[in-house]
Amino acid sequence: MLARLLPAAINTRPAEWSRAAIGMASGTLFSVWLCAQVFGMDVALHLLGPLGASAVLLFAVSSGALAQPWSIIGGYLCAGVVALLVARVLGRTLGSACLAAGMTVVLMCWLRCLHPPAGGLAMTLVVADPASIALGWHEMGAVMLGAGALVGCALAYNNATRTRYPKGAAESPAVVMGSAPVVTDPTITAADLKLALAEMEQFYDVEPTELEQLIQAAEGHARRRSIGEVLARRVA
């Protein structure tokens, strides 16, 4: 049990760590600076924590679903609207801040834009500083400006450093009817997946053992589907 508490080895090289670190620092700096130019430094610094947390996802684990553009834009939009509504109705207390974060998670799940730092942003907006409170609903402008600037930096920096972003949906290989029978591939193990992740030299927020379980479950569904298709053809 104690062995499971130890962190797994990172499958990336120090060059990728440096790439992600430079992007995270530069992206956060630019987004906060831009927000400060429009809304003032006090308002911008109040958003520094959530933007920095989002930058870690956008630059270090950009392949994850939680780091895609709609996740941060939609997540920040949900957090801003919910937080300002809760603050207006229930006041700016610790309880209302936690309630706003919970409601934000539900709304993000419904809109398919789950982004963890947005939960912290909702709390931050409820217990805001006087300068942010004075903006009222105009604070949404600061929130979305920071999110948009950070996404723009991620798009430019990640692609300039040969890290494809955003991640598009992978196309399924075309099936050619009447082709030669496919030779059954050997069973993929967690060790094979670990080596494959190391070759890709990018951060992936998933363990090889979890991928192995996913592949095995998918193979089981594929076998059941194949058997069902064969039985259906025999009945027909």
Condensed to tens digits (0 to 9), the pLDDT of residues 173-225 reads: 444 444 444 545 566 665 666 666 556 555 555 555 656 666 767 766 777 77
Condensed to tens digits (0 to 9), the pLDDT of residues 25-61 reads: 999 999 999 999 999 999 999 999 999 999 999 999 8
Those residues whose C-beta lies under 8 Å from the C-beta of residue 16, and which sit 6 or more positions away, are: 201, 202, 203
Q: Quick check: 11 pLDDT over 70?
A: no
HSE-CB for 189 with a 13 A CA cutoff? 3
Continuous segment of H or E residues that includes residue 73: helix 69-90
Q: Which residue has the higher pLDDT, 114 or 199?
A: 114
Could you tell me if 116 and 53 are in contact, meaning their C-beta atoms sit under 8 angstroms apart? yes
Where exactly are the structural domains of the chain? Answer: 13-160, 190-235
Residue 174: predicted pLDDT = 47
Distance of CA 77 to CAs 46, 114, 121, Å?
17, 11, 10
Could you tell me if 114 and 64 are in contact, meaning their C-beta atoms sit under 8 angstroms apart? no
Residue 176: predicted pLDDT = 47
Q: Does residue 166 have a cis peptide bond before it, meaning omega lies within 30 degrees of 0?
A: yes
Could you tell me if 100 and 86 are in contact, meaning their C-beta atoms sit under 8 angstroms apart? yes
Mapped onto helix, strand or coil, the DSSP state of residue 169 is coil
The structure's pTM equals: 0.74
Residue with tokens 């104690």: 2
Mean pLDDT over each residue of the chain, to the nearest integer: 83
Q: Which residue has the higher pLDDT, 211 or 117?
A: 117
Mapped onto helix, strand or coil, the DSSP state of residue 203 is coil
pLDDT band at 167 (very low <50, low <70, confident <90, very high): confident
The whole-angstrom separation of Cα 111 and Cα 134 is 29
Q: Which residue has the higher pLDDT, 232 or 119?
A: 119
